[in-house]
Chain A
Amino acid sequence: MSERTEIGWPSVVLAKVETVLVALSSIAIGSIMLIVVWDVIMRYAFSAPLGWSYELIAAYLVVAAFFFALSDTLHHHGHVAIDLFQPLIPHRTRHLLLALGYAAATVVLALIAWQAWLRLESAWAADSRLSTTMPWPTWPTYAIVVVGTGLVMLRSILRVFGHLASCISGHDLVELPPPPVTSSAGEDAE
């Protein structure tokens, strides 16, 4: 489905940012793999484990792998949803309900981003550090949460407007999940 259907350019712009962030998320996952292997080799072959791998992975890399992929995954309908009952709901009602659902989701995501922002501010101001062998700063963790959650919040806002427009116009003006693989394959065969 083309980018245009999700009400035009804002979606295209968001998608560009999402691609950058999901690339960072991918790099984080690749780095976790390499660090774990390196750590094991150093531990067993040289009895010199990396003192910092645990903190680096838990404090920054997993957080980046998760939060930076959030919006891209939502955009590509990678988050599991139950689409079984959707066809049973009248078209406009369904879009209206989904608009309300995403509006509520936007509020929760905004609250999460806001809370993370507050923690980012205080961590930055106090220059707080991890209480581990490597006293790494804690603010980057919160910054990752703010950026990742903020972006998925914007994507959620787009969904609100897309579903509202679809409800009003009666046409699908929002990106819908691709039809289940079944319908096409099943019908073709029958």
Chain B
Amino acid sequence: MTVAIALGALVLLLLIGLPVALAMAVSGALGLYLVGGMPILGGILKTAPLSSANSYEIITIPMFILMAEFVILSGVASDLFRAATIWMGRVRGGVAMATALAGAGFGAISGSSTAAAATLASTSIPAMMDEGYDPKLAGGVVAISGTLAMLIPPSIALILYGIIADIPIGQLLIAGLIPGIIVTLAIILTVALLVRIEPGAAPQSRSYSFAEKIAALKRVGPMLLLFIAVTGSIYTGLATPTEASGIGAFVAMLLAAWERRLTGQGLWRALRRAAQTSCMILFIILGAHIFGYFFTLTRVTNDLTDWVAALAVSPWIIITIILIGYLILGFFMDQIAILILTVPVVLPLVMALGFDPVWFGVIIVVTAEVGMVTPPLGMNVFVVARYTRRPLGELFRGVMPHVWAHLIVIALLTAFPALVLWLPSTM
């Protein structure tokens, strides 16, 4: 009964638009009060707030967010796209494919999907429009390419999963690399297929000389360096993810200074935005902690796991149902909120079924990505709409072929877990 009341309160508070963190804190506190009165509630409110923030590992979140802010400040992110365009040359749909490559490149230095979509939109959409691309094709490829940032290390979503699930963050980050490359290829193939069906959607671009191609690489150098410094040092074990995040932010700051963009104003804005974004994420973790204690006390998770484990159904059917559930949640909710709300309940279940927690983390991040580009809450599409001033409906239709491709990738990663698990196993 108390579980029903607390869950009901949570749903109501979420629906009326109270911030997710407060909704979880309030409904969790209500539940705790109903279970054990003031002594239990007081005890948990005494320890939960600090246990959310009082840790060393959690600084990977603000540090990687700060790194992305500095990279955006430096302006070199937009050069990525130009370089990719030059390398794609005169392939039909080449600029759209370059957008996917630039998305992957940007993902390698940033962990935020919407930041990636915004940066890509501001550079690649005008370029595609100038060349006479179908706006539907152009907008769609930008929105989906932004999601690569959530997968290719460093990924805030995977770090968060690691913290909630208590799994080594380094392994998770490295596990996202190959799926990230597969998604990039899927986007490029989808574009190739689309322009083959409808050649008018994308004109042929001009070709570039070899000298131009080499010159373009020079501008990509600093970012390649940043990627190797961060992901390379995590992979080789040279630095912990925490150290790598701090170094990454610092190198990105030097990069912004080198590009003469690091003004006092710019520094303050980057720091403040990193502070606010990190605070938003940590506050949800805090709320989830309070709610999580309530769930633990009422043994909901155990009961659910026991119940599902007792079902005489193949684990693959259960994992399919879980993934469909994540797809549906992604339509309505923020990815971070989904992870924090569901992982503590779902992960024990998934592990009881014999699945690998690292694999599961990557799979649910890929699945939740779909929600970033589907109505009604496709954040990336909103961002693209703001830059392109195109109707939302058109953009959502433009991204649909990529959604289908994405679903195929999810099926592939589910059928062949080694695609996810091989690289971290070599660490």
Interface residues of A (CB under 8 A from B): 22-23, 25-30, 32-37, 39-40, 54, 57-59, 62-63, 65-70, 72-74, 76, 78-86, 89, 94, 97-98, 101-102, 104-105, 107-108, 111-112, 115-116, 118-119, 141, 145, 149, 156, 180-182, 185-186, 188-190
Contacts and interface: CB of A to CB of B under 8 A. Distances in A.
A33 B249 contact: yes
B18 A111 contact: no
Contacts of A35: 246
Given A33-B63, A82-B20, A189 B278 contact: no
Please report whether the interface of chain A is mostly helix, strand, loop or mixed according to DSSP: helix
20 contacts: A26-B275, A29-B274, A30-B271, A33-B253, A34-B250, A65-B62, A65-B279, A66-B53, A74-B19, A79-B22, A80-B19, A80-B21, A86-B16, A105-B22, A181-B383, A182-B392, A185-B382, A185-B388, A188-B389, A189-B391
Interface stretch (B206-214, B328-336, B360-368, B398-406): B328-336
Q: Which 10 A/B pairs are nearest by Cβ-Cβ distance?
A: A36-B246, A79-B19, A26-B271, A69-B279, A115-B46, A101-B18, A105-B22, A66-B53, A97-B16, A25-B275
Interface of B: 12-23, 25-26, 29-30, 41-42, 45-46, 49-50, 52-56, 58-59, 62-63, 66, 239, 242-243, 245-247, 249-250, 253, 268, 271-272, 274-280, 282-284, 290, 332-334, 336-337, 376-377, 382-383, 385-386, 388-392
Contact of A145 (B23, B50, B59, B279): B50
Given A70-B283, A80-B280, A189-B391, A29 B275 contact: yes
Contact of A76 (B14, B55, B56, B276): B276
Contacts of A98: 16-18
A80 B250 contact: no
Given A58-B54, A105-B18, A40 B62 contact: no
Contacts of B284: 79-80
Contacts of A66: 52-53, 278-279, 282-283
Contact of A101 (B23, B278, B282): B23
B129 to A, nearest CB: 13
A82 B196 CA distance: 40
Contacts, number: 207
Contacts of B276: 22, 69, 72-73, 76, 78
A25 B49 contact: no
B42 A111 contact: yes
Contacts of B332: 82, 84
Contacts of A85: 15-17
A22 B132 CA distance: 45
Contacts of B17: 81-83, 85-86, 94, 98
B321 to A, nearest CB: 23
B280 A79 contact: yes
Q: Which of B45, B282, B377, B390 has the most CB of A within 10 A?
A: B45
A95 to B, nearest CB: 10
A112 B18 contact: no
Given A111-B45, A112-B49, 10 more contacts: A22-B272, A29-B66, A29-B275, A36-B245, A36-B247, A57-B56, A63-B54, A78-B279, A78-B280, A85-B17
B84 to A, nearest CB: 26
Contacts of A39: 243
Contacts of A62: 53-56, 58-59, 62
Contacts of A78: 276-277, 279-280
Contacts of B53: 62-63, 65-67
A119 B268 CA distance: 33
B421 to A, nearest CB: 29
Contacts of B383: 181
B275 A81 contact: no
A40 B239 contact: yes
Contact of A185 (B46, B56, B385): B385
